Amino acid sequence: MNSLTHSYTTKMHGLYVITHAENPAGYTHYQLAKMALKGGAQFIQLRDKKMEARELMKIGIEIRQLCEHYGARLIINDRIDLAYATDAHGVHLGQQDLPISVARNILGEQKIIGGSASTIKEAQALEAGGADYIGFGHIYNSTTKQKSYAPRGIETLRQVVREVSLPVFAIGGITMEDAGEVAKTGVAGLAVSSAVYSVSEPIDAAIKLASLFGDTKPPVPGF
């Protein structure tokens, strides 16, 4: 049984932005998160494969506080231990990470647990395993994260949305030009990185992407 009835997971849709420290402008994770949240992002995924755990924990706590100020949620990539240590709203697990059931035992029913899938079979397995949402892709060729398999494309994405009852977030190579077409497949949201951070006006880019899912936010004072 997943936790979609709980407070953190009652609204699983919208813009899902993944921080990436190796970005062209040299933004920090915190700066990236803040710009995305100002633009209406509903989820921030903190992802860093190189940073030491203690430093990443400190940053995670700061971004969680920022997310709560903006009414959004922090998801930690891969690391169940850091999700626990930062009291993040959830964790996102890849196919080679620990199982959903292990994460649930550690983090509890109140936390969001998502998983990556690149086939319909993997998506169905995540649903059966108790995930709260699915990140499906890559949809197009991605410069952020290289994959060993071909892009899945729009038609496969539509199939996955039909075959599973969980919220599906499309990920991989999605640009501003492609975003509208992807949104029309029935996905719960778009998971992006460079579409926001590799442009001259990241906040404006986030606003446009968030608006595809009806999310418009008035300016939030502070932070």
- Choosing from 34, 38, 116, 193, the catalytic residue is 116
pLDDT exceeds 50 at position 6: no
> pLDDT tier at 7 (50, 70, 90 boundaries)?
very low
Residue 99 backbone dihedrals phi, psi, to 5 degrees: -65, 155
| All domains of the chain in start order, with CATH | 7-211 (3.20.20.70)
Calpha distance 148→139 (Å, rounded): 13
| Pairing state between β 73-77 and 133-137 | unpaired
Position 3 scores a pLDDT of 40
Largest CA distance in the chain: 45
199: amino acid identity, one letter: V
pLDDT exceeds 70 at position 145: no
Calpha distance 137→135 (Å, rounded): 7
Position 1 scores a pLDDT of 35
52 DSSP assignment: -
- Choosing from 38, 47, 64, 79, the catalytic residue is 47
* Helix or strand (DSSP H, E) at 128: helix 120-128
CA torsion sign for 80, 82, 85, 89 is: negative
Percent of the chain with pLDDT over 90: 83
**220 is written with which tokens?**
């939030």
Query: What is the signed CA dihedral for 106, 47, 99, 173, rounded to 10 degrees?
Result: 150
**145 is written with which tokens?**
């994260």
Tens-digit pLDDT profile for residues 176-193: 999 999 999 999 999 999
Catalytic site residue 145?
Answer: yes
Calpha distance 111→22 (Å, rounded): 28
Residue 183 backbone dihedrals phi, psi, to 5 degrees: -60, -30
pTM for the structure as a whole:
0.92
